[in-house]
Structure 1
Amino acid sequence: MLRLEVAADDLLRTRFAVSPLFELGGLLRRLAGLAPLGPFARLRPEYERLRTETELDAVVALHTARYGADFVGPPPAGMQQTAQDDLAAVRATPLDVARREIARALAEGPRVGAAVRETLHANDVVERLARALEAAWTALLAPDWPQLRAICETDVVHRAGRLGEGGWAAAFAGLHRRVRWHDGAIELAAPAQLPGADPGVRTVPSDGTGLLLVPSALIWPGVGAFMDPPWRRALVYPARGVGALWEPAPAGAGALGELVGRSRARLLLALEEPASTTQLAAGLGLAVGAVGDHLAVLRRSGLVRSARAGRSVLYRRTALGDALAAQHSALGSG
């Protein structure tokens, strides 16, 4: 079990963040066969091309069943993090830090080939891996990032609401079944499904810099943590609503679609949690302007309401909207 001690100063500095390259690492694990591939099977041909044309195999070698090198998916700075921000952080990694994490990955993972070993032992290994990551990001994940980011942002809106209602204990609750708040620390139980999981307790003391909470759409096997210097302490957990990625898109919206129109029905069903126009557009693959127009109709009809949260306007269903969505679910998509 891992215990991340959280002092009062930490709570003052704890915040949410998103990590494009951490998501890329999750996708690479799936494409390498370390986790279920699901809807991303369509990316396998492009993945195989990158393996032959770039040094991507060296990146993949740094992701094992129980460990992932932190420097190829470093903790993000905040909610506005971009892939280019992440790549800059990768390129800034001190060589001694990269070598330490590479050595651990090679010790814990399967034997690698001579070409991969040569890359990982090179003096310019950090730059070579950064180039492979950049190529993989562009070809594999960048097209899907708006949808994945919308899922993560919607989760943060939910957690922020829990924080406002019940404090940090409420915000931490429900992050994952292996995570709990106990006696001044976040406790992370070892994943029993992984062979060789350490049954002991490791305590990471508070350093007063706070904790990053990072929702993820592609994390496997469910929750992870950054805990070793020089990286900032961070807890990565599965974002709410990520299950929608693994479900086939509905062909229509059934009777609800006949009543309010298919696009408006999809928007109403998507508002299980509050979301902004931009998040809804990214998640559903609709134009932002069209989403705004549909939401205006739903609001005038008494099915949704809006409220400002910082610089964003968030929409949520009304009681009437909840009733229609519940009736749709009870009847099925038809």
Structure 2
Amino acid sequence: MRIHFTVEDLARLRMVASLGPVAESVFALDLFGRTGGAFFNVWRRHVRDRLGEGVRNVEQLIRERRASAELLEMAGRSPDRAAPRSPAEEWTSRRVTATMLGFCQVAVLPYWSRVRGHLESEREVYGRIAITNGVECLLETLHPRLCWNPPVLEIPDAEDRDVHLNGRGLLLSPSLFLQGRNHLFLDRENETGLPALVVSAPCTSAVMSDLMETPAPDDEALGALVGHTRAAALQALTESCTTGGLSERLGISLAGASKHATVLRKAGLITTARNRNTALHTLTSLGMALLHGEPFTAPQPQRN
């Protein structure tokens, strides 16, 4: 892959510490399904134990060998496809999303505070390089497997194609769980709308042991997963209410409450029953599980 920069793209280069715990879970899913990296074995064992019966759904998802970009789309970290889904596609999307959120709950969120702290440190290192030596030096040292040949960033182990940024800029992000895969390119990241390049952060066995050996409680875990306002919405919906009731409980506008309810419904965390002009929102079993920090088993298709 060859990513072509213009002067405008270099000026609009941005870096975040992470695309978030859901994106890290997509990368971690691949890592969970592979062997190797002895310092990940303890993590794999903890995750398998905490998944319980849900490990079968995770293993099925691994066997399906879905591309990371597709999983990110289903989990909301890249834009939804424009074409409407068939009922079968919609069911599959909900199953995959439920499995990914359940996996995120036990594979990433218990470690998220330390993982994010590590990734923020990596971003600071990259930032100092850019400030001290310029953006081109940053691109030269971004990852050992990437080659900066101005004005093109070459990625030898990616698909053979040319990506022209055409002044849109590029979002860079390090990842802890993208070990062994080096990079992931997204044509458009959902929250920023920018093309995005995720690169695996350098990490020693000593650092990994410190980050991953013992899961830690994280009071901000649910907020990190769905956003703080939507986490509050889940809390508010422990007792079913209408959109207007949700608006009052959260102290936000009716339009804002409706928007958050739509996102939570698409993620399978709530259901909505409509009666004329009234919509009643209720937590699903997945929403309850995430709210209370319990393992969740994704639904299986009904058989005739």
Give your verdict on TM over 0.5.
yes
Distance in 2 between the 1:35 and 1:27 partners? Answer: 13
CA change 1:95–1:123 in 2 (3 A) is farther
The structure with higher relative contact order (CA 8 Å, sep 6+) is 2
CA change 1:39–1:174 in 2 (3 A) is farther
CA change 1:69–1:95 in 2 (3 A) is farther
Q: Which residue of 2 aligns with 1:203?
A: 162
- The superposition leaves residues 147-182 of structure 1 with CA deviations (integer Å, 9 ceiling, x where unpaired) of 111111001111111111111112123222111211
Q: 5+ residue gaps in structure 1? A: 75-85, 100-118, 192-197, 250-334
Matched, 1:223 2:182: yes
Contact 1:180–1:186 under 8 Å retained in 2? yes
TM-score (norm 1): 0.52
Distance in 1 between the 2:63 and 2:166 partners? Answer: 31
Q: 5+ residue gaps in structure 2? A: 212-304
What SS does structure 1 have at the residue aligned with 2:165? coil
Alignment of 1:82-231 (within 5 A): 87-89=75-77, 93-94=80-81, 96=83, 121-190=88-157, 201-228=160-187
TM-score (norm 2): 0.57
Contact 2:189–2:195 under 8 Å retained in 1? no
Distance in 1 between the 2:125 and 2:28 partners? Answer: 25
Alignment of 1:1-334 (within 5 A): 2-17=1-16, 18-19=18-19, 20-33=21-34, 36=37, 37-41=40-44, 42-52=46-56, 55-57=57-59, 59-61=61-63, 63=65, 68-73=67-72, 87-89=75-77, 93-94=80-81, 96=83, 121-190=88-157, 201-228=160-187, 232-241=194-203, 243-247=205-209
Q: 1:242 Cα shift? A: 5.2
Query: Which letter does structure 2 place at the counterpart of 1:239?
Result: A
Count residues with an aligned counterpart: 203
Contact 2:188–2:196 under 8 Å retained in 1? no
Contact 1:151–1:241 under 8 Å retained in 2? no
Contact 1:4–1:203 under 8 Å retained in 2? yes
Query: Which letter does structure 2 place at the counterpart of 1:4?
Result: I
**Which structure's CA Rg is the greater one?**
1
- The superposition leaves residues 44-103 of structure 1 with CA deviations (integer Å, 9 ceiling, x where unpaired) of 223453234xx4345434546xxx2314235xxxxxxxxxxx94446x62275999xxxx
What SS does structure 2 have at the residue aligned with 1:93? coil
- The superposition leaves residues 252-293 of structure 1 with CA deviations (integer Å, 9 ceiling, x where unpaired) of xxxxxxxxxxxxxxxxxxxxxxxxxxxxxxxxxxxxxxxxxx
CA change 1:130–1:247 in 2 (3 A) is closer
What SS does structure 1 have at the residue aligned with 2:47? helix
Contact 1:22–1:73 under 8 Å retained in 2? yes
